[in-house]
Structure 1
Amino acid sequence: MGINSERDIEANMQIGPTELGMVRIFIEAGDTEIPMDFEPEEAEEIADEIRAAAQAARAVKKR
């Protein structure tokens, strides 16, 4: 499965700070739960990557 492969899977994603000063991205899909913890600097890098991907996706839509 690659980034361009579509799947009909419903999932819930939550993002927030932990009590240990980490940023948690928590994904739940069916019986599967995936907690991913990141240092604040890593979370900011991920946010930058998401913004860059959103900008690239907008450029693709305009074609």
Structure 2
Amino acid sequence: MGIDKQSDIAANLQIGPTSLGMVRIYVEAEGVDLPLDFDPDEALEIAEELRAAAERARRVKP
């Protein structure tokens, strides 16, 4: 599966701080529990990438 392929997979996404000062992105789907921890600077970089991707997606004409 690539970044531009449709998927029928449903997942839950949770994002929040951990007690160790990290930012956790937690993905849960059928048969998958995936905790991803990032330091705050990495999390801010990810947030910037998400914002930029959202802006580019707005410009796509389906």
> By the TM > 0.5 criterion, same fold?
yes
CA distance in 2, matches of 1:6, 1:55: 19
> Structure 2 stretches of 5 or more lacking a match?
none
1:1-63 aligned within 5 A: 1-61=1-61
In structure 2, what residue type is equivalent to 1:11? A
Q: What TM-score, normalized to structure 2? A: 0.94
Report which of the two has the higher share of helix: 1
CA distance in 1, matches of 2:31, 2:58: 33
Post-superposition offset of 1:7: 1.1
In the comparison of the two structures, how many residue pairs are matched?
62
CA distance in 2, matches of 1:14, 1:59: 27
% same residue: 61
